[in-house]
Chains A and B, each alone.
Chain A
C-alpha cells in the first residue's frame, strides 16, 4: 500500500515524460500514447468489475454480468476467464477486484484488466470471489448472448448452439430479436429451430404445430429432448403428441443410421491404413515369400522421413508432405535393397531364419532411431488442405485427412496392381515367383528381380509411413503397432493375391469398427484376432487361395 503511494509520483513523472516523447517523436510512440488516451472505457469496466462482490443474488449478478458484457471492452474476456477460473479476489486493502494466483501461502496479484503486476498480498488481505457451476453456466449464457450480436457469422452460430436448449426467457427474447435482423439464411433457420424449441416448451397451443413443422427433419440432441418432453405433456392435443412422437422416432432412426455410416467410414479409414501397411508386405511376403519382420520399421522410416522433411521446410508442411512421398519411397526402398543384398538373399528357402534375422534388423532400426532422434514421439503437422472435415449432412462429417488417406491407399494399390500386371518388370516378378528355374532359363535375371521386388515392397512401406503421419504421432515404436496386423491381413487375404489383401484390409477395418460400439475398442480387436486365428486355422490359404500347385513351405 505504502509502496504504491510512494511510487505514485515517480510513475506520473514517467507518464509525463512518455507523453512528452509521444508528442515530440511521433511514429509508434504516438500510437502507444493514443491507446493511453483513448481508453475511457477502462474506468467504467473497472467500476463494474469492482461491483462484482456486491452482486449477491442471482438477478443482480446476471444484470451486472450483462452490463459488463455489453460494454464490448477487449478486457471483458480476461475478466470472464478469470472469474470462471475462480481467480478473482477482493483486495480488502483497496477494496478493488484483482486477479490473484497462489504462491505458497501468499498471493500474487495482477490487474485483471491489464494484466499488470500489483505485487503480493497475504492470506488475510484478499478474499476470493466464489464461483460455482451455476455462475459458470451464467457466464457462458451471458457470453453467448453477447456473441449473438458478433460480426462474425461463425461466432454467432456457435453462440446459438451454446444457447440452444436453455429455457431462460432472456435467451428467448434475444433469439426473437436476432431472428428479426439476422442476415444469414443458415443462421435464420438455426434460430427458427431454437424458437421452435421454446414454442414447444411454452403454453401457446397455436404455436405447437408450426413448431413441429419447423423441427421436422431435425435430429439435434436439444430438439430430441424438446420433442420427448412435449410428447410427455398432459396438457396438449393427442394428435400433436403423436406427431411429436413420430418426429422423435424418425430423428432417432436417422441418428442410428448416421452412426452406422460413420462407423462404416471409420472402418474404411482403418481399412485404408491396414491396406497401406500390408500392401508392401503383400509384395515381399505374398509374392516373394520373404518374412520381413522389419516391415513395420520400414513404415517407421517413411514416417521419420516426412518428419525430417518438415523440419527442413518448416513453413511449407504441405509441400514437405508431398515431397515426402517419393523421398520416403526411395529411403525405405534403399534400406530394403540393402537388406535384401546384405542379409535376406543368404537366407532364401529358410523362412524361419529369415524371420529371426529380419526381427533382429527391426530391433536395430528401432534403437537406431531412438538413439539418433529421441525415444519420444514427434508430431508431424498437417497441411491446411488436410485440416477440417467435409460435412455431408448435419451430424455426419468426414475428416479430410482420413478421406485423403483412403483415396491415397487406393491409388497406391492401383499403381502396384498395374505395375505387376502390365509392365515387363511385373511380368518378371510373377515369373520368378511362380517358377524360378524356368524364369531363369528364359533369361530373367532372378537375383536382380528379387532385389528390386524387395526394394519395391519396402518402398511402398515407406509411403505408408508418410500417410500414417497424418493420423498418429511418429515414434520409434510406430512399426511395432502394424506388423502383426499387416501379416494377418496378407495371410487372411490369401498369400500372393493383391486383391485378397485389399478385400482383407477393408473387411477387417469395417468389422473392427462395427464391433467397437458394441464391445469397446480393445475387446473388438481381441475378438477379431481370435476370429482371424480360427478362420486361418480352418482355411490356412486365406480368403483367396493361390490357384494351381505350389510346393510346400517349411
Chain B
C-alpha cells in the first residue's frame, strides 16, 4: 500500500484546483449567469454539489482513520449525525416564533409532546459559537471515551468495527425515542435561517457551498500536513506493524486515540455542513448501513490516499443520485456489486488503478 500521503504532486495540485475552482465557479454559474447559458447551474445542482462535498469530507475523515491508522470504524455515520444534530439544534432555535405553534421558548415537536420547558441539553444552542463548539466537542468526546476504552484493551480489527457498528445502532435506537428530546422519528427540520441568512435563498446556498468547499480543502490540507509529520509516520507504521511500533516504545493507544478523535470531529463538521444544505436531520443517519457505505466510498476511491476517498464519495454519491432516480431497484444491486468488485479486484481502489498505470 502506498504510504505517501496525498500521492503525486500532480494529483495534489489538481485537488486544490478542483476545490478552489468549485468555490469560484458555482456562485458565478448560479447567481450571475442567465439560466439559459450552458454553463449556468440550477439551485438544485448547487445543493446536490454541496451535499457531495459534505460526503467527501466524511470519506476523508474515515480514510484518515482506516487508511492510515488501519482502524475501520463502522460507526462514523454516528459522528456525522451528531455534528448534524448539533447544527440542527442551533437552526431549530433560530426558528423562534415562526414555527407552527409559534412558541418562543420551545421547538414545535416539544410543544406537540406537551413539554413545559427546554431540556438542559438544549441550553446554549441559541448561540452560534456554542453550537459550532458542540459540533466539534460532541463527536470528539464520544470518540475520546469510546476510543480510550477500546484502545486501552487493544480492541482492534474487526472487533473494533463490530463495536462501532453496535454504537451507532444503539444511538439510532436512542434517537428514535421521542423522550430523548431530539424530535424522535421526524428529527429536526423546517429550518428557516442561519446567522440571519435565509436558507432557501440562492445566495445562501452558494455561500454554504463555498464554505463547504473551503472546509473540505482545509481539512484535506490539514490531514496531509499531519501525515507528513513524525506523528503521521508513527500512525502509518502502527497500521502496518502494530506490535513492532509498540516494542519500539510508542504508546500505540494514544496515537490511535488522537487519530480517532480528529477523524470523528471531521465527520461532525461534515454533518454540520450537511444539515443546512439538505434541510433535515433524522435518526436514519445513524443507520449502520450508512456507516458501511462510507467505507465503500473510501475503498472505491482507494484507501490511504485522502484524494481517493473524496473521489470515491463524489463518484458513488453521483451514481446513487442517478440510479435511485432512474432505476430504484438497481441501486442496491450496484452498491452490493461494488463492494464485491472493489474488495476482490481493486484492493487499492480507482486511484490505485490510475497510479499503477502512471508508474507502469
Contact surface of A with B, Cβ cutoff 8 Å:
291, 343, 346-347, 351-357, 359-364, 366-368, 370-371, 484, 487-488, 491, 522-523, 525-526, 529-530, 532-534, 536-540, 552-554
Contacts and interface: CB of A to CB of B under 8 A. Distances in A.
Given A343-B344, A540-B155, A533 B163 contact: yes
Contacts of A368: 333
A356 B166 contact: no
Given A360-B339, A363-B336, A522-B177, A554 B157 contact: yes
Contacts of A538: 149, 153
Contacts of B336: 360-364, 367
Contact of A533 (B170, B177, B288, B340): B170
Contacts of A491: 159, 162
Contacts of B70: 554
Interface string B164-181: 011101100110110000
Contacts of B96: none
A468 B150 CA distance: 34
A351 B338 CA distance: 18
Contact of A364 (B162, B176, B177, B332): B332
B234 to A, nearest CB: 17
Question: Which of B157, B166, B174 has the largest count of A CB atoms less than 10 A from its CB?
Answer: B166
8 contacts: A357-B339, A360-B337, A363-B332, A367-B336, A491-B162, A536-B163, A538-B149, A554-B157
Contact of B332 (A355, A367, A552): A367
B340 A529 contact: no
Most A CB atoms within 10 A — which of B155, B162, B163, B344? B162
Interface string B122-154: 000000000000000000000000100110111
Given A529-B170, A533-B167, A351 B344 contact: no
Most buried by B among A291, A360, A364: A360
Contacts of B162: 484, 487-488, 491
B173 A526 contact: yes
A48 B33 CA distance: 83
Q: How large is the interface on B (under 10, 10 to 19, 20 to 34, 35 or more residues)?
A: 35 or more
A363 to B, nearest CB: 4
Contacts of A353: 343, 347
Contacts of B288: 484
Contact of B166 (A351, A359, A361, A532): A532
A484 B292 CA distance: 13
B153 A346 contact: no
B243 interface: yes
What 8 A-B pairs are tightest by C-beta distance, nearest first? A360-B339, A364-B336, A363-B336, A367-B332, A537-B149, A529-B170, A357-B343, A360-B336
A361 to B, nearest CB: 7
Nearest to A294: B336
Nearest to B299: A356
Given A356-B296, A360-B335, A533-B167, A539 B153 contact: yes
Interface of B: 70, 72, 146, 149-150, 152-159, 161-163, 165-167, 169-170, 173-174, 176-177, 242-243, 288, 292, 295-296, 299, 329, 332-333, 335-340, 342-344, 347
A154 to B, nearest CB: 42
Given A355-B158, A540-B153, A484 B173 contact: no
Contacts of B154: 540
Contacts of B292: 356, 359
Contacts of B146: 533, 537
Q: Determine the main DSSP class of B at the interface with A.
A: helix
B167 to A, nearest CB: 6
Contacts of B158: 291, 351-352, 355, 553
B296 A530 contact: no
A551 to B, nearest CB: 11
A251 to B, nearest CB: 33
Contacts of B149: 534, 537-538
Given A356-B299, A484-B165, 6 more contacts: A346-B344, A363-B339, A367-B332, A487-B162, A537-B146, A537-B150
Given A356-B292, A357-B344, A522-B176, A553 B339 contact: no
B256 to A, nearest CB: 12
Contacts of A484: 162, 165-166, 169, 288
Given A343-B340, A540-B154, A363 B166 contact: no
A491 B70 CA distance: 21
A362 B176 CA distance: 25
A120 B339 CA distance: 64
Nearest to B347: A353
Contacts of B167: 533
Given A343-B340, A346-B344, A353-B343, A364 B165 contact: no
Central interface residue in B150, B242, B336, B347, by most chain A CB within 10 Å: B336
Nearest to B332: A367
Contacts of B296: 356, 360
B340 A357 contact: yes
A525 to B, nearest CB: 6
Contacts of B153: 537-540
A541 to B, nearest CB: 9
Given A487-B162, A488-B166, A530-B170, A536 B332 contact: no
B332 A529 contact: no
A538 B154 CA distance: 9
Contacts of B170: 525-526, 529-530, 533
B339 A537 contact: no
Nearest to A363: B336
A367 B339 contact: no
Nearest to B70: A554
A367 B338 CA distance: 14
A526 B172 CA distance: 9
A484 B162 CA distance: 8
A275 B209 CA distance: 50
A522 B157 CA distance: 29
Nearest to A534: B149
A351 B340 CA distance: 14
A540 B343 contact: no
Contacts of B333: 363-364, 367-368
A354 B295 CA distance: 13
B159 A526 contact: no
Contacts of A552: 242-243
